[in-house]
Amino acid sequence: MPFARRAAHKAVHSPPAEARAGDLAPIARADRSLAPDIARGLLLMFIAIANTPGFHMGLTGPKPKPLVVDRIVDGIETVFVVDRSRPMFAVLFGFGIAMMASRLAARGVDQRGVRRVLRRRSWWLVLFGLVHATLLWRGDILAPYGVTGLVALWLVHRPDAVLRRWFWASLVWSSIAFPGIQWLDGGSAPSTTWKPLSYLEFMREGVITSGLMQFLSLGTFLLLPMTIVGIWLHRSGWLTRPHEHVAELRTVFVTALVVNVVLSLPDVLMVTRVWDLSRTGESLVYGLHLLLGAMMGAGYVCGFALLAVRWSHRGRTGLPGVLAAVGERSMTAYLLQSVLFFSVLTGWGLGLGTWTDAAWDTVIAVVVWSVIAVGMVALDRRGVRGPAEVVLRALTYRGERRRLARAAAPEAAAPQAEVAGPLSPGDQPWISAASSALTVESVCLPPEREAASWAPEASGETGTTASR
């Protein structure tokens, strides 16, 4: 971009230096976009349903025999939930990264500074995820999204052509590598009794599983393709201005839904034990399952954006308000889900997992999500942000206000360049209206009411059942 055009862009898209200095406050609620918050709120229900079976740990005695209703529920969840929440979260994670980068740029932070902030946030996500996996849930997704963020931060400012190459390369590689690893592992026959496990053994397995998932996420680029889709959605404005893209959103949602339902039949037959496949056959079906999950994850996000358009006249009241309250505090809600599931289902808590199977697990998941939603609404009415978002934000932006203040001092005296004319999409760094509000925390890490959107800022959002 020529110097004059860069100056013009800076004059148009950057607030006055004196206003920017140290201005890293969370975004005002009135300026938040409803669609990402609704999407994150609904996403957490998907995550709850997918993760519940993974909390059957520390139990003893025989496992309950699956009933017909349990097999039906397994089949439905295979099509609509399992391995759909993870790519859905990845889309919102990528959107949150792009939103956060655009808000930082609008406040005078250069690209190097943006990457520094995103890198710090990613490393904190890795640490939080490791602790989460060790103490509560070995299927944690915060850490895998943290290591994915370390790659994505180098892509957030790159042109669309570069993103397309990374998207297709990472999609093909992850679709081959992850099922291939499963094939090499071979799996194990299902057991009819619970495996005895002490809490110390559980903690050790949590550390190992978290490290393995981080390695696989980085080595197979499992989460990167849909993270790139999230960056694209930010650039296109589909989530920040969904009312302008209703036709496109509907096309993606309907297409993804139809293709997912039709092509998921082999997986449903396998999961419901109607069709027995060889190890190679199972790996091939699983590869297709992952591709359909990626497609449906993006489709769900577009579908939730359509809901936001339909509910826009209601604002943040009623059901949209409940979903948005959860979405704004998605990291807090995600961690609370683990606390409640651990307390209710595991052998170190009430141990209800001894008697529950797919159908009752789903009921428990919906009840837990609802209880947490009540708590998030209570916080919202008092204007209180999620505790996890507050902590993550403080750690992420530590020292940035001082850097902004020092950088703004010499700029305050510099004359503003005149606008030379409109910029082409290829020239501008895709700074979206600072109005939207999806924090990287929102990714499963909802943004606090702040700079980007997210939740569980990373999104938690993974383990066999964990990765559902």
Q: How far apart are CA 372 and CA 368, in angstroms?
A: 6
What's the pLDDT tens digit per position in 9-23?
333 333 333 334 445
On whether residue 151 sits in a domain, the answer given is yes
The radius of gyration computed from the CA coordinates of the chain, to the nearest angstrom, equals 22
Give how far the C-alpha of residue 285 lies from the chain's centroid of Cα atoms, to the nearest Å: 25
What's the pLDDT tens digit per position in 50-70?
999 999 999 888 888 888 898
The CB-based long-range contact list for 207-212 (8 Å cut-off, 24+ gap) reads 207/130, 207/133, 207/134, 209/133, 209/138, 209/139, 209/463, 209/466, 210/129, 210/130, 210/133, 210/134, 210/138, 210/140, 210/143, 211/130
Name the pTM for this structure.
0.79
Model confidence at 259: pLDDT above 90 = yes
Q: State the residue range of the domain holding 37.
A: 30-412
On whether residue 343 sits in a domain, the answer given is yes
Q: Provide the 10 A C-beta neighbour count for residue 123.
A: 16
Residue-level pLDDT at 9: 38
Q: Higher pLDDT residue, 315 or 24?
A: 315
Q: How far apart are CA 220 and CA 135, in angstroms?
A: 26
Model confidence at 410: pLDDT above 80 = no
Q: Which of 67-76, 99-108, 173-182, 254-263 has the lowest mean pLDDT?
A: 173-182
On whether residue 460 sits in a domain, the answer given is no
Residue-level pLDDT at 418: 42
Residue-level pLDDT at 272: 79
Whole-number average pLDDT of the chain: 80
**Packing angle of the helix pair 330-345, 358-381 (nearest 10 deg):** 140
Q: What is the rounded average pLDDT of the residues 41-46?
A: 93
On whether residue 233 sits in a domain, the answer given is yes
On whether residue 93 sits in a domain, the answer given is yes
Model confidence at 439: pLDDT above 80 = no
Longest dimension (CA), the chain: 76
On whether residue 430 sits in a domain, the answer given is no
Residue-level pLDDT at 178: 75
Q: How far apart are CA 300 and CA 84, in angstroms?
A: 9
What's the pLDDT tens digit per position in 358-409?
999 999 999 999 999 999 999 999 999 999 999 999 999 887 767 766 655 5
What's the pLDDT tens digit per position in 116-132?
999 999 999 999 999 99
Q: How far apart are CA 128 and CA 61, in angstroms?
A: 33
Altogether, the residues listed in the chain come to a count of: 468
Q: Higher pLDDT residue, 94 or 281?
A: 94
Q: Which two tokens stand for residue 218?
A: 């980085």
On whether residue 245 sits in a domain, the answer given is yes
Q: Higher pLDDT residue, 111 or 7?
A: 111
Q: How far apart are CA 211 and CA 35, in angstroms?
A: 33
What's the pLDDT tens digit per position in 316-336?
888 999 999 999 999 999 999
Residue-level pLDDT at 429: 37
At residue 404, what is the residue type? Answer: L
Reference 149, options 238, 195, 74, 214; nearest CA is 214
Residue-level pLDDT at 243: 93
Reference 120, options 448, 392, 350, 329; nearest CA is 392
Contacts of 17 (CB under 8 A, 6+ apart): 108, 408, 411, 412
Reference 452, options 121, 6, 80, 110; nearest CA is 121
Model confidence at 457: pLDDT above 50 = no
Phi/psi region, residue 430 (left: phi>0; alpha: psi -120 to 50; beta: rest), is left
Residue 101 host element (H or E):
helix 85-106
For residue 355, what are the β-bridge partners? none
Backbone angles phi and psi of 223, in degrees to 5 = -100, -10
Residue-level pLDDT at 175: 82
Coil, strand or helix: which one is 143?
Answer: helix
Q: How many domains does the chain have?
A: 1
Q: Which of 80-94, 178-192, 340-354, 416-430 has the lowest mean pLDDT?
A: 416-430
On whether residue 445 sits in a domain, the answer given is no
Name the most confidently modeled range: 18-22, 192-196, 219-223. Answer: 219-223
Model confidence at 271: pLDDT above 90 = no
